[in-house]
Structure 1
Amino acid sequence: MDSNNTTEWRDNKSLHECMMYMLQNEIMCDVTLRVGDERTLIKAHRFMLSSRSAVFHTMFDGSLPEKGDITIPDIDEITFLDILKYFYSDDITITNNNVKEMLYAADKYMLAAVKRECETVLKQTAQSEHATKALQTGYQYHLSDLQKESLDYIEMNTNACLLSEHAVSLSKDCLELILKSDYLDCTETDICQFILKWGKHQCELAKLEPSGGNIREALGNILYMIRFPNVMMKFFSEEVAGSFLLTSDEMVSIYRSHFGVISKTFSCGLRAPVSKRQTYTVNRYEQITGPMRTAGIQSLIFLSNKEIWLKGVNIFLPYVQHDQHVRRGRREMCGTPGTVNISIKVLNDSKEEKIQQHEQINIAPYNGEVRQIDFSKPVRVTLMRDYTIVIDGMTHQIYYGTNCQESVTDQQSGVTIKFKDSSVDESGTNINTGQFAGLLFSV
């Protein structure tokens, strides 16, 4: 390096710019890393690696510190350089193309912030027909939120997910997580058909004949999570009975179950998809009045004492003054007809958007005071965690609730919803008054 420029790279530079310069130009580096299959040499600073990762700290300053070059064969060069960039600058870029590799590296070196970024990217996959792949990744790397997001989607879109190319590659543990659910939105025949496909794939991987006995061996105790009494008799007789997947006694118990004899081996309980479960409503207001001015966002926080599925919201409609009178034998109403376009969002306690829905509201005096808005998909609400519901775009005065209750219990479901003021609100909605007449949910 030119001695006349030894200080130029420091001038007017931030800390991370200086650190990156030292890394890239190998200034005062004191450790050599041999990375990837090619054992590419990468130089770095023990101090920086130890400051960002407890794994490296133990490696360099533990009871048996590493003194020579460090070999890292299980992470490719590009991924490791991205991780180094994060170590030195706090800058990290996660995409669908590198998320798997970055997640592995983040897990290996205990980088919690990087794992969270990976999980955010993977959640996009969780809300698609590839949710089984996201479930497997979440389980492998102990990402509980990703597992829950994936299972939510699988439960509501079971057939599409089981038809995904990734589904037959599910581990036994992840398959068990799915079959535990009472909420799968498909028939038990669909599940049985997939299980046979999954079992045959496991036999192929193990280079075994896909016989009933080998499939049973691959399934293990998962076999007893299939609700065979609910499988269509024709499919059971043609595809299962002759495969030797089940013992003679097990088959007899299933046939007898079709004639009213309850099987002691296999459950006959029907799965109840969220879309088909009973919907309950809690209303928080005692009286309705109007008008209430709206000047922006209306928002309220709610939490539930049980895990529920939020299916919709009752909102107060635009307030239209009118006079009713009869002219020429017909009733006429004088008002301000038109429409208003609003958006409704639900955010979790991490401010992640769980759903956003757009609605067109007619403005007319005969519309009533309250409108039920059904969500396009249910939103799983975890117990005792704050969720925020937001309405934006309501440009007209509205009806509103008064003497609102801070806590409302639905006696039939036993669910208690508690409300809190939201700092996001701009229009006067709070726990005592304002927008949001009630919530619709299932348990």
Structure 2
Amino acid sequence: MCDVTLRVGDERTPIKAHKYMLSSRSSVFHTMFEGSLPEKGDIIIPDVDKDTFRDILKYFYSDNITITNSNVQEMLYTADKYMLASVKIECETVLKKTAKSEHATKALQTGYQYHLLALQTDSLDYIEMNTKACLLSEHAISLSKDCLELILKSDYLDCTETDICQFVLKWGKHQCKLANLEPSGGNMREALGKILYLIRFPNVEMNFFSEAVAKSCLLTSDEIISIYQSHFGVTSKAFPSCLRAPVAIRQTYTINRYEQITGPMGTSGKQSLIFHSDKDIWLKGVVIFLPCIQPTFGGLHALGDYDELSDGYSNQLPYRYDQLTNYISVINICIRIMNDISEEKIHENQQTNYGPNTGHIWQMEFSKPVRIHSTRDYIIQMDDIGLQTYYGTECKEYVTDQQTGVTIKFKNSQVSGAGTDINQGPFAGFLFSV
């Protein structure tokens, strides 16, 4: 009882369907069949291959769809064409896995093309921390002018300005080739347009600038002279000279959320807290409270006493004796950071020593910074360590760092175990950069 035939792909493969199902699932098809000028006869769809369209048709009828790395680009194009929001979200989820790899520039281009803001953000975050490797990727040379501009605007790029300049020259020559133009300085300058002035030429190595840039005729004579003068203290009016500072070397600030320390505190289940920053920051680590162990005098700590204090977990932990007087143990800390749609941003496992002389808190620095955006809530979660710990009291619902002006607010998490909320708990503070 099909009432419409769709001719799909270059070969115009006939695929039959029901207008009602197509119209109910896509506003584009609804307008096509029920609008003021409804389509009659066969529908020609030349820009979607038959396999992709069959998968989309299956989604129309069953609400089931399978998206993989091999078909995600075609699926995304089709979902965008027919305004299928849920399919675009599924595609974005798959693409986010490539955003944090050598394919980050390709993911950035896709995110920009289809207005997938989260994918753009994840891709650019990865590029900022792995700039040189990403610019050497086979996909980087195919970046659009707009996406190249997004990268060059960043102050966080982890490479030299010479590396950036080398890539831009390579990109400019590629654009000339695509347009069947001679790769001259004038043509490359035309391809770059205003983004030429995002390159910080005063920071490019003098030898490379003289041999590769000055001789290419990419810049005017006055611009070239201004770059040479900048090496002798004269500020260039055309090009910025401030250094890009990668996240790894930016100053780290600490926000503490507690007024006093006490203990012991017994915990159960995962410890969790929601936080929100009023500015974009890079979260570099978390300050947590250590297990609560009392000093010993005149000999070894009695194992029975320690078992009582730690609820019997001591036999499961490696340990050593420090100068035959104090019991020192090793504990594993597992931290997760998730965004407001439960996407895991980092999963960090580290070990640290604790004992009577190791202090109350420990600064856990992450293996890589986590980008925290001011428009979203995030959840920090710590696995149950099975030990009684010190904890902070009189904690603040929000804390402002006086040096940066960053304010971080805290909210209770519904999945948190007993004892962790905005007033107290094991999370002593955060380490971050701006």
TM-score after normalising by structure 1:
0.91
Task: State how far apart, in whole Å, the 2-side matches of 1:340 and 1:93 are.
Answer: 42
Task: State how far apart, in whole Å, the 1-side matches of 2:36 and 2:376 are.
Answer: 42
Matched with 2:423 is: 432
**Stretch of structure 1 that moved more, 52-61 or 286-295:** 286-295
Task: State how far apart, in whole Å, the 2-side matches of 1:392 and 1:268 are.
Answer: 46
Describe the SS at the equivalent of 2:336.
Answer: strand
Unaligned runs of 5+ in 2: 301-321
Matched with 1:287 is: 260
- Of 170, 174, 179, 1:197 maps to 170
Structural mapping, 1:128-139, within 5 Å: 128-139=101-112
Structure ranking higher on relative contact order (CA contacts 8 Å, 6+ apart): 2
Task: State how far apart, in whole Å, the 2-side matches of 1:347 and 1:222 are.
Answer: 35
Structural mapping, 1:290-305, within 5 Å: 290-305=263-278
Matched with 2:160 is: 187
**Stretch of structure 1 that moved more, 106-115 or 286-295:** 286-295
Q: CA deviation at 1:322?
A: 3.1
- Of 358, 362, 365, 2:356 maps to 365
Give 1:423's aligned amino acid: Q
Task: State how far apart, in whole Å, the 2-side matches of 1:321 and 1:81 are.
Answer: 68
Task: State how far apart, in whole Å, the 1-side matches of 2:324 and 2:269 are.
Answer: 32
- Of 363, 376, 380, 2:367 maps to 376
Matched with 2:337 is: 346
Per-residue CA deviation, residues 194-249 of structure 1 (Å, 9 max, x unaligned), is 01111111111122221212211211111111111110101101111111111111
Per-residue CA deviation, residues 84-103 of structure 1 (Å, 9 max, x unaligned), is 11111111111100000000
1:122 aligns with 2:95: yes
Aligned residues of 1:103 and 1:118 also touching (Cα < 8 A): yes
Task: State how far apart, in whole Å, the 2-side matches of 1:82 and 1:43 are.
Answer: 14
Give 1:284's aligned amino acid: R
Matched with 1:12 is: none
Task: State how far apart, in whole Å, the 2-side matches of 1:70 and 1:228 are.
Answer: 54
- Of 290, 311, 314, 1:317 maps to 290
Q: CA deviation at 1:325?
A: 4.0
Matched with 1:414 is: 405
Describe the SS at the equivalent of 2:358.
Answer: coil
Task: State how far apart, in whole Å, the 2-side matches of 1:151 and 1:36 are.
Answer: 34
Q: CA deviation at 1:427?
A: 3.0
Aligned residues of 1:136 and 1:171 also touching (Cα < 8 A): yes
Matched with 1:441 is: 432
State the percentage of identical aligned residues: 72
Task: State how far apart, in whole Å, the 1-side matches of 2:189 and 2:147 are.
Answer: 17
Equivalent residues, number:
413
Task: State how far apart, in whole Å, the 2-side matches of 1:183 and 1:32 are.
Answer: 53
Unaligned runs of 5+ in 1: 1-27
Matched with 2:279 is: 306
Task: State how far apart, in whole Å, the 2-side matches of 1:49 and 1:333 are.
Answer: 77
Task: State how far apart, in whole Å, the 2-side matches of 1:29 and 1:391 are.
Answer: 55
> What's the C-alpha RMSD, in Å, of the aligned pairs?
1.4
Per-residue CA deviation, residues 239-263 of structure 1 (Å, 9 max, x unaligned), is 1111111111110011001001111
Matched with 1:389 is: 380
1:229 aligns with 2:202: yes
Aligned residues of 1:309 and 1:378 also touching (Cα < 8 A): yes
Q: CA deviation at 1:332?
A: 4.9
CA 1:42/1:257 → structure 2, altered by over 3 Å: closer, same or farther? same
Aligned residues of 2:152 and 2:199 also touching (Cα < 8 A): yes
Structural mapping, 1:205-244, within 5 Å: 205-244=178-217
1:261 aligns with 2:234: yes
Task: State how far apart, in whole Å, the 2-side matches of 1:331 and 1:37 are.
Answer: 79
Task: State how far apart, in whole Å, the 1-side matches of 2:92 and 2:384 are.
Answer: 32
- Of 129, 133, 136, 1:160 maps to 133
Q: CA deviation at 1:425?
A: 0.6
- Of 104, 121, 142, 2:115 maps to 142
Per-residue CA deviation, residues 366-405 of structure 1 (Å, 9 max, x unaligned), is 2211000111111111114210000014121111111111
Describe the SS at the equivalent of 1:437.
Answer: strand
Give 1:181's aligned amino acid: S
Q: CA deviation at 1:130?
A: 1.3
Aligned residues of 1:341 and 1:393 also touching (Cα < 8 A): no
Aligned residues of 2:271 and 2:384 also touching (Cα < 8 A): no
TM-score after normalising by structure 2:
0.93
Aligned residues of 1:203 and 1:209 also touching (Cα < 8 A): yes
